[in-house]
């Protein structure tokens, strides 16, 4: 049951080409966002589509796969966990961000 404590599974499309960062120690980091869509009918019976954007980070071999095979518009299935962190801007403002650390990736579609 421990593996279910912080687990996220999403299927969506990349909003932009991934950003690849090569770190000083030689490891790779891939950053990208995916959009998930949910459709429902509102009170007037009209179809409404709700789009949510999710920030994804991938490390190591997964980052290499992202770099070589993923691009804007590509449909993917992601499995990972939620990670929250904070950072300070150049102006000294503290910012908070929640990302999904990708553990597994499955390319879908063509």
Q: Cα dist. 57→12, 40, 42, 87 in Å?
A: 15, 29, 34, 16
pTM, entire model: 0.84
The mean pLDDT of the chain is: 93
Structural domain including 40 reads 2-107
Q: Torsion over CA of 53, 61, 101 and 76, rounded to 10 degrees?
A: 30
- Asked if 37 and 49 touch (Cβ cutoff 8 Å), the reply is yes
The residues with which 76 forms a beta bridge, in sequence order, are: 12, 107
| Residue 4 confidence (pLDDT) | 73
3 pLDDT band (50/70/90 cuts)? low
pLDDT tens profile 47-73: 999 999 999 999 999 999 999 999 999
H/E element holding 19? strand 19-22
pLDDT tens profile 9-56: 999 999 999 999 999 998 999 999 999 999 999 999 999 999 999 999
Domain count, the chain: 1
| Residue reference for tokens 């954007």 | 53
């Amino acid at each position: 049951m421990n593996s279910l404590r912080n687990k996220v599974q999403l299927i969506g499309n990349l909003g932009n080409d991934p950003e690849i960062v090569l770190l000083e120690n030689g490891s790779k980091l891939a950053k990208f966002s995916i959009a998930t869509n949910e459709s429902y009918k509102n009170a007037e019976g009209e179809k409404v589509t709700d789009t949510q954007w999710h920030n994804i980070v991938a490390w190591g071999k997964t980052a290499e796969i992202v770099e070589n095979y993923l691009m804007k518009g590509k449909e993917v299935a992601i499995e990972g966990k939620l990670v929250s962190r904070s950072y300070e801007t150049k102006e000294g403002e503290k910012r908070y961000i929640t990302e999904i650390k990708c553990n597994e990736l499955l390319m879908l579609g063509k």
